[in-house]
Structure 1
Amino acid sequence: MPRHISEHTGERIAQYRKLRHLTQRELAARAHISYSMLTKVEQGAKPATPTVIAAVARALFVQTVDLTGQPYMTELQQDELDVLIQPIREALDLYDLGADPEIAPRSVDELHSAAEHLCAQIRETRIKDAARALPALMIEATTAAHAAPSEKAWQVLASTYRTAYDITTKLGYSDLCVVALDRMAWAAERASDPVVAGVRQYLRSLVYLRSGQYDIGKRLVGVGMGTLEQADRSRIRDVAVGQLHLGAAMLAARSGDGDTAAEHIADAGRIAEATGEAMRVHWLSFGPTNVAVHQVATLAEQYRYAEAVRAAGQVQIPAEWPASRAAAHIAEVARAQLWIGRSEASLKSLQHARELAPQQMRYHPMVRETVAGLVSARRSMPDTLTNMAHWVGI
């Protein structure tokens, strides 16, 4: 059954606040946010931004997923995605058991093609298809890497772990995404691939970005940059460095350092001019478009919503851009539109994001918060909003 609107993030914040025996003013002071903002979020009158959620989670000593309600089990069960998580969990746990004598793995080239196919499915937001196929491929790639170790075999295994990270992150399993990243580091070390290791540090920094631990995230970016210095000069290395700058920009923006965020965006922009659009380099989608998208996101994270919407109006998404990235950007724009009072435009943006990436958007906490905000802002809901609210579980 769909959850009642009272079960939004603000309601969960209020519940945990009362468990900690804190008043709204005390929690606002601990979280370093305004009392007015907190009261509106708890009432459901304003959507909780990622920055607010992370700040409150730190102050309450809980995880951000405790406040967002992830994973969204009712919807996962409806979509039959919940049953696909345990096989991924089990496959991740086989990493150090050596070759399975009952498995005759395909060639490394064939396994590489299969791993790339799963990456493509994630980009197309075919999460269910990728989740169904991943465990068997991960087990086969594990046996192949142990039976005939080579740089490429370990890279293929690292790719399957990256896909596990993508799936578990998108579905809200924060514990498993951390395990997947640890496995990715383990495989990257055996592949002696500093670029894969650097990308892994970028992904780790995103975990800390989501949890509001910005200082640790910044340190991870620094470690990633140092790791990439060990790689040979190449377009691939430049793409990874550029992506780390974008991660650093988001961390700076969320921590309130707009100047540093702008510097990292500028650095990434200069690199993107040289690399051009690089949409399939070590699972990244770097290039001028991604820099422009991150510019919008950093403005939104600084509550500069009107500027974010204007900047978004200048972004031209290439037709071949991954649906997963395009939808995430459009959802970000929808949030900014809601905050500046453009509710109809926000709803249209959410519908567009849903069309591009239905499985991903259904489980995106920002989408849920924006929908909840639209419901609260509209005295009478059009059928399109009612449908959207039921779809995300409100």
Structure 2
Amino acid sequence: MHALPQDHTGVRIARLRRERHLTQRALAELSGVPYNTLIKIEQGRLSATPHAVACLSRAMRVEVATIVGQPYTAELRADELDVLIAPIREALDVYDLGVDPDISPRSLRDLREDSEGLCAAVRAGEIKRAASEVAGLIEETTTAAHTHGSSDGWLILASFYRTSYDVATKLGYADLAQLSLARLDWAAQRASDAVFGGAYQYFRALTYLREGKFRTGQRLIDLGLRTIGQADASRERDVVTGQLHLGGSVMAGRAHDEEQAMEHLVEAEIIARRTGESPNVLWMAFGGTNVSVHRVSVLAELDKYDKAVESAEHLVIPSDWPKSRTSHHWAEVARAQMWTGKTEASFASLLKARKTAPQQAKYHPMVRDTYASLEAAHRRLPDSFLSYGSWLGSQV
């Protein structure tokens, strides 16, 4: 049986284009996406790059999520993940109600251990576990934070809000991710922590990166750098500053501003030499490895796929690096390899993405689009290619 799910990104683009009574040539002119590239994207022969998706979403005045098809409701339902979203929404809504008389919270020490455990689960790609536990922990910590009124309590609550943001982002619920960030900012302000304030702007910028709104995203990166500059000198400040530069490098790369992208990378590299590998500071994985991984990503965003593949070949990722970030890296490598015609290597990278963090890879738009593009060449790929499509589900 044919393995290619019928509703990939290219099919959705074609459907949206026809709904707006646009020809392929008209949409190409409106979006700036080359005509021949648009044809191949609609046919599923090429995956739509994030830059192309952003251009097409603006031209057709739709959200990026509409084009990439998130959230993938059929698969979420099959994996029993959809039922976990409503409790998270409810937990985020009680932030300002004060102490809940029906909740007897544990100590802040216990709650901090749980917050670190959930951050570790997300980094390990255990999305279902994080989604299952975070709502109840947010409600418990909300009461604890209001009870103690201390910076420590608010920062623990901010950590749980970060976990809800991660869950929402990885499962494709953009509105829930935005709400989680708003709550993170609310808690960080009560803790009066400039480092958290800078981290908030970084995560906020990433939401605009995913939405294809690069100019606003870059302004948020700049705001984050100004905010973090108000913090006292510390390793945490350096890590967040470096991560902001890495976010800015991808933002500029996706906007095809090579000069600015490379400037951000250079700044991040300078800071990484000072911090060394910092995989567990404020839920971030900053350091020389992350700079190198981002260099691969930026080169791909700039459509320099040959250089991205070459750079990836010389990159060794430590075994203890976060599985979620490693899986994302292999998804980016697979896309670059696909664009350079290295189909077997691309599929091998998709397999690595799945093996490293299967729950994350299954709901990663880049994984799905790369798979859809490789389908045209599936006769030159191993039999496991078809089973990979079945694993992804029916809505790629």
Distance across 1 between alignment mates of 2:150 and 2:390: 49
The answer for the alignment partner of 2:185 in structure 1 is 185
The answer for the alignment partner of 1:41 in structure 2 is 41
CA contact (8 A) 1:375 1:381 kept: no
Shift of 1:5: 3.0
Matched residue of 1:86: which SS? helix
Matched residue of 2:96: which SS? coil
Distance across 1 between alignment mates of 2:91 and 2:376: 43
Deviation by residue 1:301-360 (Cα, 9 ceiling, x = unmatched): 011111001101111111110000111001110111111111111111111110110000
The answer for the alignment partner of 2:261 in structure 1 is 261
The answer for the alignment partner of 1:209 in structure 2 is 209
CA contact (8 A) 1:171 1:363 kept: yes
- 1:338-353 map, 5 Å: 338-353=338-353
**Relative contact order, CA 8 A, sep 6+: which one is greater?**
2
Q: Which AA in structure 2 matches 1:114?
A: D
Distance across 1 between alignment mates of 2:89 and 2:34: 40
The answer for the alignment partner of 1:159 in structure 2 is 159
Are residue 303 (structure 1) and residue 303 (structure 2) matched?
yes
CA contact (8 A) 1:199 1:224 kept: yes
CA contact (8 A) 2:45 2:374 kept: no
CA contact (8 A) 1:127 1:167 kept: yes
The answer for the alignment partner of 1:57 in structure 2 is 57
Q: Structure 1: where are the runs of 5+ without partners? A: none
Aligned length: 393
Q: Which AA in structure 1 matches 2:26?
A: E
- 1:305-384 map, 5 Å: 305-379=305-379, 382-384=382-384
Distance across 1 between alignment mates of 2:110 and 2:58: 45
Shift of 1:377: 2.6
Distance across 1 between alignment mates of 2:263 and 2:222: 15
- 1:109-124 map, 5 Å: 109-124=109-124
CA contact (8 A) 1:11 1:42 kept: yes
Seen in structure 2, the aligned counterparts of structure 1 residues 99 and 3 have a Cα distance that, compared at 3 Å, is farther
Matched residue of 1:280: which SS? strand
Shift of 1:48: 1.0
Distance across 2 between alignment mates of 1:259 and 1:381: 38
The answer for the alignment partner of 1:175 in structure 2 is 175
Q: Structure 2: where are the runs of 5+ without partners? A: none
RMSD: 1.2
Shift of 1:380: 5.7
Seen in structure 2, the aligned counterparts of structure 1 residues 12 and 257 have a Cα distance that, compared at 3 Å, is same
Query: Which aligned segments of 4 or more residues in structure 1 are displaced greater than 2 angstroms?
Result: 2-6, 377-382
Q: Which AA in structure 1 matches 2:239?
A: V
Distance across 1 between alignment mates of 2:105 and 2:6: 51
Distance across 2 between alignment mates of 1:6 and 1:351: 21
Matched residue of 2:347: which SS? helix
Shift of 1:79: 1.0
Q: Which AA in structure 2 matches 1:333?
A: V
CA contact (8 A) 2:344 2:381 kept: no
- 1:74-153 map, 5 Å: 74-153=74-153
Shift of 1:3: 9.2
Deviation by residue 1:97-155 (Cα, 9 ceiling, x = unmatched): 11101111111111111101000000111111111111110000100111111000000
The answer for the alignment partner of 2:8 in structure 1 is 8
TM-score when normalising by structure 2: 0.97
The percentage of counterpart residues that share the same residue type is: 51
CA contact (8 A) 1:3 1:393 kept: no
Q: Which AA in structure 1 matches 2:299?
A: L
Q: Which AA in structure 1 matches 2:282?
A: H
CA contact (8 A) 2:165 2:176 kept: yes
Moved more, 234-243 or 255-264: 255-264
Distance across 1 between alignment mates of 2:254 and 2:310: 20
